[in-house]
Protein backbone atom coordinates (compact mmCIF):
# COMPACT_ATOMS: atom_id res chain seq x y z
CA UNK A 1 0.00 0.00 0.00
CA UNK A 2 2.85 2.32 0.85
CA UNK A 3 4.37 1.83 -2.58
CA UNK A 4 1.04 2.50 -4.25
CA UNK A 5 0.59 5.72 -2.23
CA UNK A 6 4.05 6.99 -3.13
CA UNK A 7 3.41 6.18 -6.77
CA UNK A 8 0.20 8.21 -6.68
CA UNK A 9 2.04 11.14 -5.07
CA UNK A 10 4.74 10.97 -7.76
CA UNK A 11 2.12 10.96 -10.49
CA UNK A 12 0.41 14.01 -8.96
CA UNK A 13 3.74 15.86 -8.84
CA UNK A 14 4.31 15.10 -12.52
CA UNK A 15 0.81 16.28 -13.34
CA UNK A 16 1.37 19.44 -11.30
CA UNK A 17 4.59 20.12 -13.22
CA UNK A 18 2.86 19.61 -16.57
CA UNK A 19 -0.01 21.86 -15.48
CA UNK A 20 2.53 24.56 -14.45
CA UNK A 21 4.32 24.40 -17.80
CA UNK A 22 1.08 24.62 -19.79
CA UNK A 23 -0.67 27.00 -17.37
CA UNK A 24 -3.68 24.69 -17.09
CA UNK A 25 -5.68 26.11 -14.19
CA UNK A 26 -8.38 23.42 -14.44
CA UNK A 27 -5.81 20.65 -13.93
CA UNK A 28 -4.47 22.51 -10.90
CA UNK A 29 -7.94 22.76 -9.33
CA UNK A 30 -8.60 19.08 -10.00
CA UNK A 31 -5.31 18.07 -8.34
CA UNK A 32 -6.09 20.19 -5.28
CA UNK A 33 -9.57 18.67 -5.01
CA UNK A 34 -8.07 15.18 -5.07
CA UNK A 35 -5.32 16.03 -2.57
CA UNK A 36 -5.19 19.36 -0.72
CA UNK A 37 -1.56 18.70 0.27
CA UNK A 38 -0.31 18.66 -3.33
CA UNK A 39 1.18 22.17 -3.21
CA UNK A 40 2.59 21.65 0.29
CA UNK A 41 4.37 18.50 -0.85
CA UNK A 42 5.80 20.35 -3.86
CA UNK A 43 7.54 22.75 -1.49
CA UNK A 44 9.36 19.79 0.07
CA UNK A 45 10.22 17.92 -3.12
CA UNK A 46 10.79 20.68 -5.73
CA UNK A 47 14.21 21.94 -4.72
CA UNK A 48 15.01 23.51 -8.08
CA UNK A 49 11.81 25.46 -8.68
CA UNK A 50 8.24 25.36 -7.44
CA UNK A 51 5.11 25.62 -9.65
CA UNK A 52 5.04 29.40 -9.16
CA UNK A 53 8.61 29.70 -10.49
CA UNK A 54 7.51 27.86 -13.63
CA UNK A 55 4.39 29.99 -14.04
CA UNK A 56 6.49 33.16 -13.62
CA UNK A 57 8.93 31.97 -16.29
CA UNK A 58 6.15 31.01 -18.70
CA UNK A 59 3.98 34.08 -18.08
CA UNK A 60 0.87 32.15 -17.04
CA UNK A 61 -1.04 34.89 -15.22
CA UNK A 62 -4.21 32.99 -14.25
CA UNK A 63 -2.20 30.01 -13.07
CA UNK A 64 0.03 32.29 -10.97
CA UNK A 65 -3.03 33.95 -9.40
CA UNK A 66 -4.48 30.56 -8.52
CA UNK A 67 -1.22 29.41 -6.92
CA UNK A 68 -0.89 32.60 -4.85
CA UNK A 69 -4.49 32.22 -3.67
CA UNK A 70 -4.02 28.57 -2.70
CA UNK A 71 -0.57 28.87 -1.11
CA UNK A 72 0.69 32.40 -0.53
CA UNK A 73 4.12 31.43 0.84
CA UNK A 74 5.16 30.11 -2.62
CA UNK A 75 5.89 33.78 -3.43
CA UNK A 76 8.94 33.80 -1.15
CA UNK A 77 10.30 30.36 -2.11
CA UNK A 78 13.75 30.33 -3.72
CA UNK A 79 15.05 28.04 -6.42
CA UNK A 80 18.50 26.40 -6.47
CA UNK A 81 20.10 29.69 -7.58
CA UNK A 82 18.43 31.76 -4.87
CA UNK A 83 15.85 33.32 -7.20
CA UNK A 84 12.30 34.02 -6.17
CA UNK A 85 9.37 33.85 -8.64
CA UNK A 86 9.54 37.65 -8.72
CA UNK A 87 13.11 37.48 -10.07
CA UNK A 88 11.92 35.36 -12.99
CA UNK A 89 8.78 37.41 -13.73
CA UNK A 90 10.82 40.64 -13.57
CA UNK A 91 13.51 39.33 -15.92
CA UNK A 92 10.89 38.27 -18.47
CA UNK A 93 8.90 41.50 -18.17
CA UNK A 94 5.59 39.91 -17.12
CA UNK A 95 4.23 43.03 -15.50
CA UNK A 96 0.83 41.58 -14.47
CA UNK A 97 2.45 38.64 -12.69
CA UNK A 98 4.84 41.08 -10.99
CA UNK A 99 1.82 43.02 -9.68
CA UNK A 100 0.23 39.82 -8.34
CA UNK A 101 3.42 38.79 -6.54
CA UNK A 102 3.99 42.24 -5.05
CA UNK A 103 0.41 42.42 -3.84
CA UNK A 104 0.90 39.08 -2.09
CA UNK A 105 4.20 40.07 -0.46
CA UNK A 106 5.85 43.44 -1.26
CA UNK A 107 8.96 42.53 0.75
CA UNK A 108 9.90 39.81 -1.73
CA UNK A 109 11.39 42.50 -4.00
CA UNK A 110 14.15 42.94 -1.39
CA UNK A 111 15.33 39.33 -1.73
CA UNK A 112 18.71 38.67 -3.36
CA UNK A 113 19.76 35.72 -5.51
CA UNK A 114 23.11 33.92 -5.21
CA UNK A 115 24.80 36.80 -7.11
CA UNK A 116 23.34 39.40 -4.74
CA UNK A 117 20.87 40.72 -7.31
CA UNK A 118 17.35 41.77 -6.40
CA UNK A 119 14.45 41.62 -8.89
CA UNK A 120 15.10 45.34 -9.53
CA UNK A 121 18.68 44.64 -10.61
CA UNK A 122 17.51 41.89 -12.97
CA UNK A 123 14.73 44.04 -14.45
CA UNK A 124 17.11 46.96 -14.99
CA UNK A 125 19.65 44.74 -16.75
CA UNK A 126 16.89 43.51 -19.07
CA UNK A 127 15.51 47.01 -19.68
CA UNK A 128 12.03 46.27 -18.25
CA UNK A 129 10.86 49.84 -17.65
CA UNK A 130 7.33 49.00 -16.41
CA UNK A 131 8.61 46.33 -14.03
CA UNK A 132 11.26 48.68 -12.61
CA UNK A 133 8.55 51.27 -11.96
CA UNK A 134 6.41 48.75 -10.03
CA UNK A 135 9.33 47.47 -7.95
CA UNK A 136 10.54 50.91 -6.93
CA UNK A 137 7.00 52.01 -6.03
CA UNK A 138 6.55 48.90 -3.86
CA UNK A 139 9.79 49.29 -1.87
CA UNK A 140 11.78 52.45 -2.73
CA UNK A 141 14.74 51.43 -0.54
CA UNK A 142 15.60 48.59 -2.92
CA UNK A 143 17.15 51.15 -5.28
CA UNK A 144 19.96 51.71 -2.75
CA UNK A 145 21.09 48.07 -2.73
CA UNK A 146 24.60 47.51 -4.10
CA UNK A 147 26.30 44.44 -5.57
CA UNK A 148 29.65 43.02 -4.56
CA UNK A 149 31.76 45.51 -6.59
CA UNK A 150 29.78 48.48 -5.32
CA UNK A 151 27.46 48.49 -8.34
CA UNK A 152 24.21 50.36 -7.92
CA UNK A 153 21.26 49.80 -10.20
CA UNK A 154 22.38 52.93 -12.11
CA UNK A 155 25.73 51.32 -12.88
CA UNK A 156 23.88 48.32 -14.30
CA UNK A 157 21.65 50.56 -16.43
CA UNK A 158 24.70 52.17 -18.04
CA UNK A 159 26.67 48.95 -18.30
CA UNK A 160 23.81 47.27 -20.19
CA UNK A 161 22.87 50.47 -22.08
CA UNK A 162 19.36 50.83 -20.62
CA UNK A 163 18.89 54.58 -20.93
CA UNK A 164 15.10 54.61 -20.44
CA UNK A 165 15.40 52.68 -17.18
CA UNK A 166 18.14 55.08 -16.06
CA UNK A 167 15.89 58.08 -16.75
CA UNK A 168 13.02 56.47 -14.87
CA UNK A 169 15.11 55.75 -11.77
CA UNK A 170 16.60 59.23 -11.68
CA UNK A 171 13.12 60.80 -12.07
CA UNK A 172 11.89 58.83 -9.08
CA UNK A 173 14.60 60.46 -6.95
CA UNK A 174 14.28 57.60 -4.49
CA UNK A 175 17.66 58.61 -3.07
CA UNK A 176 19.60 61.83 -2.86
CA UNK A 177 20.75 63.57 -6.07
CA UNK A 178 24.37 62.56 -5.47
CA UNK A 179 23.30 58.99 -6.24
CA UNK A 180 24.50 59.57 -9.82
CA UNK A 181 28.03 60.10 -8.47
CA UNK A 182 28.27 56.82 -6.53
CA UNK A 183 31.45 54.94 -7.35
CA UNK A 184 32.41 51.33 -7.88
CA UNK A 185 35.22 49.83 -5.82
CA UNK A 186 37.67 51.00 -8.50
CA UNK A 187 36.29 54.56 -8.35
CA UNK A 188 34.32 54.48 -11.62
CA UNK A 189 31.12 56.54 -11.74
CA UNK A 190 28.34 55.99 -14.25
CA UNK A 191 29.87 58.81 -16.33
CA UNK A 192 33.17 56.90 -16.51
CA UNK A 193 31.36 53.76 -17.69
CA UNK A 194 29.21 55.62 -20.25
CA UNK A 195 32.31 57.34 -21.63
CA UNK A 196 34.28 54.10 -21.84
CA UNK A 197 31.38 52.49 -23.76
CA UNK A 198 30.94 55.65 -25.89
CA UNK A 199 27.22 55.94 -25.03
CA UNK A 200 26.63 59.39 -26.50
CA UNK A 201 22.93 59.73 -25.61
CA UNK A 202 23.51 58.61 -22.02
CA UNK A 203 26.31 61.15 -21.60
CA UNK A 204 24.12 63.93 -23.01
CA UNK A 205 21.37 63.06 -20.55
CA UNK A 206 23.72 62.89 -17.56
CA UNK A 207 25.36 66.23 -18.36
CA UNK A 208 22.12 68.08 -19.13
CA UNK A 209 19.59 66.61 -16.70
CA UNK A 210 21.51 65.44 -13.62
CA UNK A 211 24.08 66.72 -11.13
CA UNK A 212 26.71 64.25 -12.29
CA UNK A 213 30.24 65.37 -11.42
CA UNK A 214 32.03 65.73 -14.75
CA UNK A 215 35.50 65.80 -13.13
CA UNK A 216 35.05 62.85 -10.77
CA UNK A 217 38.22 60.75 -10.65
CA UNK A 218 38.70 57.05 -10.09
CA UNK A 219 41.36 55.50 -7.87
CA UNK A 220 44.03 56.23 -10.49
CA UNK A 221 43.04 59.87 -10.87
CA UNK A 222 41.37 59.35 -14.25
CA UNK A 223 38.43 61.54 -15.27
CA UNK A 224 35.87 60.78 -17.96
CA UNK A 225 37.74 63.12 -20.32
CA UNK A 226 40.94 61.16 -19.71
CA UNK A 227 39.20 57.99 -20.89
CA UNK A 228 38.00 59.44 -24.17
CA UNK A 229 41.18 61.43 -24.87
CA UNK A 230 43.44 58.39 -24.49
CA UNK A 231 41.45 55.98 -26.63
CA UNK A 232 43.69 54.40 -29.30
CA UNK A 233 41.27 55.29 -32.12
CA UNK A 234 38.91 58.23 -31.81
CA UNK A 235 35.95 58.14 -34.20
CA UNK A 236 33.36 60.88 -34.70
CA UNK A 237 31.34 59.69 -31.71
CA UNK A 238 34.40 59.89 -29.46
CA UNK A 239 35.15 63.40 -30.70
CA UNK A 240 31.56 64.49 -29.96
CA UNK A 241 31.76 63.02 -26.45
CA UNK A 242 35.04 64.86 -25.88
CA UNK A 243 33.39 68.12 -26.98
CA UNK A 244 30.42 67.59 -24.64
CA UNK A 245 32.65 66.84 -21.65
CA UNK A 246 34.86 69.89 -22.23
CA UNK A 247 31.78 72.07 -22.78
CA UNK A 248 30.50 70.89 -19.38
CA UNK A 249 33.78 71.91 -17.74
CA UNK A 250 35.56 68.57 -17.98
CA UNK A 251 39.32 68.35 -17.50
CA UNK A 252 41.95 65.68 -17.76
CA UNK A 253 43.32 64.44 -14.45
CA UNK A 254 46.57 66.39 -14.20
CA UNK A 255 44.79 69.68 -14.97
CA UNK A 256 43.01 69.40 -11.62
CA UNK A 257 46.13 70.37 -9.66
CA UNK A 258 45.52 73.06 -7.15
CA UNK A 259 41.81 72.24 -6.97
CA UNK A 260 42.03 69.69 -4.17
CA UNK A 261 41.74 66.72 -6.54
CA UNK A 262 43.94 63.69 -7.03
CA UNK A 263 46.96 64.84 -8.97
CA UNK A 264 47.98 61.74 -10.89
CA UNK A 265 46.79 61.33 -14.46
CA UNK A 266 46.96 58.28 -16.67
CA UNK A 267 48.58 57.11 -18.76
CA UNK A 268 51.87 58.47 -17.33
CA UNK A 269 55.18 58.40 -19.16
CA UNK A 270 58.44 57.01 -17.81
CA UNK A 271 61.20 59.63 -17.61
CA UNK A 272 64.56 58.81 -16.02
CA UNK A 273 63.01 55.91 -14.15
CA UNK A 274 60.17 57.99 -12.63
CA UNK A 275 56.56 58.38 -13.63
CA UNK A 276 55.77 61.75 -15.16
CA UNK A 277 52.17 62.80 -15.78
CA UNK A 278 51.42 63.98 -19.32
CA UNK A 279 51.46 67.71 -20.00
CA UNK A 280 49.06 69.87 -21.96
CA UNK A 281 51.40 69.49 -24.93
CA UNK A 282 51.13 65.70 -24.65
CA UNK A 283 47.35 65.89 -24.81
CA UNK A 284 47.51 68.28 -27.77
CA UNK A 285 49.82 65.86 -29.58
CA UNK A 286 47.54 62.90 -28.85
CA UNK A 287 44.56 64.79 -30.25
CA UNK A 288 46.52 65.78 -33.37
CA UNK A 289 47.64 62.18 -33.86
CA UNK A 290 44.00 61.01 -33.79
CA UNK A 291 42.91 63.79 -36.16
CA UNK A 292 45.70 63.07 -38.64
CA UNK A 293 44.93 59.35 -38.58
CA UNK A 294 41.26 59.96 -39.35
CA UNK A 295 42.09 62.42 -42.15
CA UNK A 296 44.63 60.07 -43.71
CA UNK A 297 42.20 57.17 -43.53
CA UNK A 298 39.44 59.17 -45.25
CA UNK A 299 41.78 60.37 -48.03
CA UNK A 300 43.13 56.84 -48.57
CA UNK A 301 39.56 55.55 -48.87
CA UNK A 302 38.67 58.27 -51.38
CA UNK A 303 41.76 57.55 -53.49
CA UNK A 304 41.16 53.80 -53.40
CA UNK A 305 37.52 54.19 -54.45
CA UNK A 306 38.49 56.55 -57.28
CA UNK A 307 41.03 54.01 -58.48
CA UNK A 308 38.46 51.21 -58.51
CA UNK A 309 35.85 53.21 -60.45
CA UNK A 310 37.27 56.25 -62.33
CA UNK A 311 34.72 59.00 -63.10
CA UNK A 312 32.86 58.85 -66.42
CA UNK A 313 34.32 62.19 -67.48
CA UNK A 314 37.73 60.57 -67.91
CA UNK A 315 36.55 57.89 -70.32
CA UNK A 316 37.10 58.46 -74.03
CA UNK A 317 36.03 56.59 -77.16
CA UNK A 318 39.24 57.61 -78.98
CA UNK A 319 37.32 59.16 -81.93
CA UNK A 320 36.19 62.57 -80.72
CA UNK A 321 38.46 65.66 -81.04
CA UNK A 322 38.57 65.89 -77.25
CA UNK A 323 39.96 62.36 -76.84
CA UNK A 324 43.59 63.50 -76.67
CA UNK A 325 42.80 66.05 -73.94
CA UNK A 326 40.74 63.51 -72.04
CA UNK A 327 43.58 60.98 -72.31
CA UNK A 328 46.05 63.54 -70.94
CA UNK A 329 43.72 64.35 -68.03
CA UNK A 330 43.20 60.63 -67.50
CA UNK A 331 46.95 60.07 -67.08
CA UNK A 332 47.26 63.11 -64.83
CA UNK A 333 44.38 61.80 -62.71
CA UNK A 334 45.98 58.37 -62.28
CA UNK A 335 49.41 59.73 -61.37
CA UNK A 336 48.04 62.24 -58.83
CA UNK A 337 45.53 59.78 -57.37
CA UNK A 338 48.22 57.10 -56.91
CA UNK A 339 50.62 59.51 -55.21
CA UNK A 340 47.82 60.75 -52.92
CA UNK A 341 46.92 57.17 -51.98
CA UNK A 342 50.52 56.18 -51.23
CA UNK A 343 51.21 59.39 -49.27
CA UNK A 344 48.10 58.94 -47.10
CA UNK A 345 49.12 55.33 -46.40
CA UNK A 346 52.56 56.63 -45.40
CA UNK A 347 50.96 59.00 -42.89
CA UNK A 348 48.88 56.15 -41.45
CA UNK A 349 52.00 53.97 -41.19
CA UNK A 350 54.01 56.68 -39.42
CA UNK A 351 51.20 57.27 -36.92
CA UNK A 352 50.38 53.65 -36.07
CA UNK A 353 54.03 52.65 -35.62
CA UNK A 354 54.11 54.79 -32.47
CA UNK A 355 56.81 57.25 -33.55
CA UNK A 356 56.99 60.14 -31.04
CA UNK A 357 55.31 63.26 -32.41
CA UNK A 358 57.41 65.32 -30.00
CA UNK A 359 60.37 64.63 -32.27
CA UNK A 360 60.66 67.41 -34.83
CA UNK A 361 62.08 65.09 -37.47
CA UNK A 362 58.97 62.93 -37.24
CA UNK A 363 56.73 66.00 -37.41
CA UNK A 364 58.64 67.26 -40.43
CA UNK A 365 58.17 63.90 -42.17
CA UNK A 366 54.44 64.08 -41.44
CA UNK A 367 54.26 67.63 -42.80
CA UNK A 368 55.91 66.51 -46.05
CA UNK A 369 53.60 63.51 -46.38
CA UNK A 370 50.51 65.60 -45.68
CA UNK A 371 51.65 68.32 -48.08
CA UNK A 372 52.11 65.74 -50.85
CA UNK A 373 48.77 64.09 -50.03
CA UNK A 374 46.72 67.30 -50.10
CA UNK A 375 48.50 68.73 -53.15
CA UNK A 376 48.01 65.59 -55.24
CA UNK A 377 44.40 65.45 -54.07
CA UNK A 378 43.89 68.97 -55.44
CA UNK A 379 45.55 67.97 -58.72
CA UNK A 380 43.27 64.94 -58.94
CA UNK A 381 40.23 67.17 -58.51
CA UNK A 382 41.48 69.63 -61.12
CA UNK A 383 42.03 66.87 -63.69
CA UNK A 384 38.44 65.73 -63.18
CA UNK A 385 37.03 69.23 -63.63
CA UNK A 386 39.17 69.91 -66.72
CA UNK A 387 37.92 66.72 -68.33
CA UNK A 388 34.26 67.49 -67.70
CA UNK A 389 34.35 71.32 -68.04
CA UNK A 390 37.25 72.49 -70.27
CA UNK A 391 35.98 76.09 -70.17
CA UNK A 392 37.15 76.32 -66.55
CA UNK A 393 40.80 75.60 -67.40
CA UNK A 394 41.94 79.17 -66.76
CA UNK A 395 40.19 79.40 -63.38
CA UNK A 396 41.52 76.02 -62.35
CA UNK A 397 45.05 76.86 -63.39
CA UNK A 398 45.08 80.09 -61.40
CA UNK A 399 43.52 78.37 -58.35
CA UNK A 400 45.99 75.50 -58.56
CA UNK A 401 48.98 77.84 -58.84
CA UNK A 402 47.74 79.88 -55.87
CA UNK A 403 47.26 76.73 -53.84
CA UNK A 404 50.70 75.37 -54.75
CA UNK A 405 52.31 78.71 -53.92
CA UNK A 406 50.61 78.91 -50.51
CA UNK A 407 51.41 75.31 -49.53
CA UNK A 408 54.96 75.64 -50.83
CA UNK A 409 55.51 78.70 -48.63
CA UNK A 410 54.23 76.82 -45.59
CA UNK A 411 56.34 73.80 -46.50
CA UNK A 412 59.37 76.06 -47.00
CA UNK A 413 58.88 77.64 -43.56
CA UNK A 414 58.76 74.23 -41.90
CA UNK A 415 61.80 73.08 -43.85
CA UNK A 416 63.77 76.21 -42.88
CA UNK A 417 62.83 75.72 -39.22
CA UNK A 418 63.95 72.12 -39.46
CA UNK A 419 67.27 73.08 -41.07
CA UNK A 420 67.85 75.77 -38.45
CA UNK A 421 67.16 73.21 -35.73
CA UNK A 422 69.69 70.80 -37.23
CA UNK A 423 72.30 73.57 -37.53
CA UNK A 424 71.75 74.58 -33.89
CA UNK A 425 72.11 71.01 -32.71
CA UNK A 426 75.32 70.58 -34.72
CA UNK A 427 76.68 73.86 -33.35
CA UNK A 428 75.82 72.79 -29.79
CA UNK A 429 77.63 69.50 -30.32
CA UNK A 430 80.71 71.30 -31.72
CA UNK A 431 80.71 73.85 -28.87
CA UNK A 432 80.29 71.10 -26.27
CA UNK A 433 83.17 69.19 -27.82
CA UNK A 434 85.41 72.28 -27.91
CA UNK A 435 84.48 73.10 -24.30
CA UNK A 436 85.35 69.57 -23.22
CA UNK A 437 88.70 69.76 -25.03
CA UNK A 438 89.53 73.12 -23.40
CA UNK A 439 88.56 71.87 -19.95
CA UNK A 440 90.60 68.73 -20.55
CA UNK A 441 93.62 70.84 -21.53
CA UNK A 442 93.25 72.96 -18.37
CA UNK A 443 93.09 69.87 -16.20
CA UNK A 444 96.23 68.45 -17.84
CA UNK A 445 98.04 71.76 -17.32
CA UNK A 446 97.08 71.81 -13.63
CA UNK A 447 98.27 68.25 -13.19
CA UNK A 448 101.65 69.03 -14.79
CA UNK A 449 102.08 72.08 -12.56
At 258 the three-state DSSP class reads: coil
pLDDT value of position 281: 46
At 189 the three-state DSSP class reads: coil
Task: Tell which residue, 83, 89, 136, 131, has the closest CA to residue 111.
Answer: 83
At 276 the three-state DSSP class reads: strand
d(CA 425, CA 447): 33
Q: Is the pLDDT of residue 59 over 80?
A: yes
Q: Of the ranges 28-37, 235-244, 332-341, 388-397, which is most confident?
A: 235-244
pLDDT value of position 213: 92
Over the stretch 195-250, which tens digit does the pLDDT of each residue have? 999 999 999 999 998 989 999 999 888 999 999 888 877 788 888 999 999 999 88
d(CA 426, CA 428): 5
At 348 the three-state DSSP class reads: helix
Over the stretch 123-156, which tens digit does the pLDDT of each residue have? 999 999 999 999 999 999 999 899 988 999 999 9
Dihedral sign for Cα atoms in the order 109, 146, 140, 205: negative
Name the residue ranges covered by the structural domains of the chain. 281-448
Phi, psi of 250 (to 5 degrees): -70, 145
Q: Is the pLDDT of residue 376 over 50?
A: yes
Over the stretch 289-324, which tens digit does the pLDDT of each residue have? 566 667 667 766 766 666 656 655 455 444 444 445
Q: What pTM was estimated for this model as a whole?
A: 0.57
Amino acid sequence: MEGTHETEIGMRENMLYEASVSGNTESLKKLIEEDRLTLSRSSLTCFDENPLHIAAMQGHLDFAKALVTLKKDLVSDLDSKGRSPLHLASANGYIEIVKVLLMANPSVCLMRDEDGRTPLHVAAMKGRVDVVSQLVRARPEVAKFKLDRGQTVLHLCVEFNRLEVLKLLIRFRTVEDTWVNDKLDNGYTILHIATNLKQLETIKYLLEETVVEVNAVNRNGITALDIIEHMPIRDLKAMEISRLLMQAGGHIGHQLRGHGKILVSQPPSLVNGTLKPPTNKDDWINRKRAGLLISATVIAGMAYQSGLSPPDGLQSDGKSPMSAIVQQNFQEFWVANTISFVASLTIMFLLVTGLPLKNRIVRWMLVIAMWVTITTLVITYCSLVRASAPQLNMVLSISLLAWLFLTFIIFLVHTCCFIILIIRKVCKCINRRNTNEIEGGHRQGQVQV
